[in-house]
Amino acid sequence: MRGPVVVVGDTLLDRDVEGVVNRLCPDSPVPVLDETAYADRPGGAGLAASLAAGAPDTEVVLVTALADDAGGARLSSLLTAAGVQVYALGLAGGTPEKIRLRARGRVLLRHDRGGAPGEPGAPSDAVLRVLANASAVLVSDYGRGVARQPALRAALAATRAPVVWDPHPRGPAAVPGIHLVTPNESEVRELAKVRPGVTRLVTASRGAQGLRRRWRAGAVAVTLGGDGALLCHAGSTPLVVPAPMTADGDTCGAGDRFAATATLALARGALVSEAVQEAVAEASAYVADGGVASVLPPPARLLPPTGSGVAGERIGVVAASAVVSEVRAAGGTVVATGGCFDLLHAGHVATLQAARQLGDCLVVCLNSDASVAALKGPERPVMSQGDRSRLLAALSCVDAVVVFDERTPHAALTWLRPDVWVKGGDYATGGGEPALPEAELLRRWGGHTVVVPYLDGRSTTEMIAAARERTPGASRLSDTVPAADRLGRPSPGTAVSRPAEGTR
């Protein structure tokens, strides 16, 4: 490949909310979903770009419109983690979101939000250069306006790279002269305005031939789900490319996998027929392997543990969201802190009390059991995340607790967007800003970080070691105590990093 593979299109934030259903709503006969976890992923063109970036030795660039809100920041973070370079156009309005409510592996309801599509901003000179130097381009149109942008369309028409157009019924016609169009059956019927034929293959063939002529495309490949695809070239008999395997599973993203694979093949110099055959095989394997969850990195999740009573009511995403919304509606300050809190001790409590005094609510971001084990080894945690959550939630200075499954709280912070992030005095300030890894993240939305003094002589690791010393036959933990293992050491005072001027 001489240049990057460029994906152009609309990006959405896909959120899967997992839960359990064991009762009906008392005021209407509908199931009540008790949320247990959620996962965020890029959708639309963002998913296509993420899938393409999974190919070895491939540089993938995404040209998309991102809103200046929490959803836009979350998408940018997810895409960067997937290895995608993002060239963002401005977007008026909010980030479009598709939220699927799931229980026992089944989708109960999909909730869309984000309003009417906003007008994307004009591309920069850098965007136009990357399109001119692309080895192949995929237009992943989800009908929200990016594919209508005049300057982008002119650049797409002028590029010498092969262009694949994955259309949407609400989107515009493809630019003339593209190599391949990849609609599904319903899309080709609507776009080409064809009547149903005797068989689905006849209908697909009529639609593909009509769409190819109307859009002056080199070829049209109509995806047929588990039956493969139908490829129509100019002046040739339609070619049926059967799927190598039939699989039942989550088909969400299968069309994106098909289009991305075909684009990658064309970038390597493959013929259109070869690209479609490879795309059918990859899309079929994608569904058989479990869909989007099988190919993307483990999603960032917040895992609310179950609880009951007053403490339990403060635990989880729903509880935290309610507290934060109420405080923000009143113009208050949201404070957050985080850690493992394995064997809660006086040093922890002092830090939590100091943090609560800095604002109007305190949300604790708690490392899950898996996260603690990854950070500190298989012998930790001593206490489960459920027990640690309930102890924290029982403190009067704590308003809510959320559990995160990653090594860092970045995903939780991006969701919460606190005004203040607090840690114990374990971080040297050097007379300037605290050396906290979260400081730069907080600045994105105008927040700041605070380091509070730590009580001397309190350490979870030292407590565990002392307990094991007194237990015959128990092994001692390492004498090396990583900085992340406790909230901090004595600090002469409190250090604050302020947001950049004009960000608040």
* Catalytic residue IDs: 256
Nearest by Cα to 232 from 180, 286, 168, 297: 180
Name residues whose C-beta falls within 8 Å of residue 397's C-beta, 6 or more positions apart in sequence: 349, 352, 353, 355, 356, 362
What Rg value do the Cα atoms of the chain yield, rounded? 26
Cβ neighbours of residue 358 under 8 Å, at least 6 residues apart? 333, 335, 420, 422, 450
Distances (CA, A) of 72 to 13, 78, 92, 97: 8, 10, 11, 10
d(CA 46, CA 335): 31
Distance CA 127, CA 124 (A): 5
What secondary structure does DSSP assign to 130-194, as a single string? HHHT-SEEEEE--SSSGGG-HHHHHHHHH--S-EEEE--TTSPPPPTT-SEE--BHHHHHHHHTP
Tokens of 283: 């899309």
Structure tokens at 328: 């923000």
Reported in sequence order, the residue ranges of 306-389 that DSSP labels E, i.e. its strands, are 334-339, 361-367
348, burial (CB in 10 Å: exposed 0-12, middle 13-18, buried 19+): buried
Q: Which amino acid is at 328?
A: R
Name the one residue in this structure whose structure tokens are 């957050």.
336
As to burial, measured by CB atoms within 10 angstroms (0-12 exposed, 13-18 middle, 19+ buried), residue 151 is middle
Q: What whole-number distance in Å separates Cα of residue 384 and Cα of residue 227?
A: 47
On the question of a cis peptide bond just before residue 183, with omega within 30 degrees of 0, the verdict is: no
Angle between helices 254-267 and 272-288 (to 10 degrees): 140
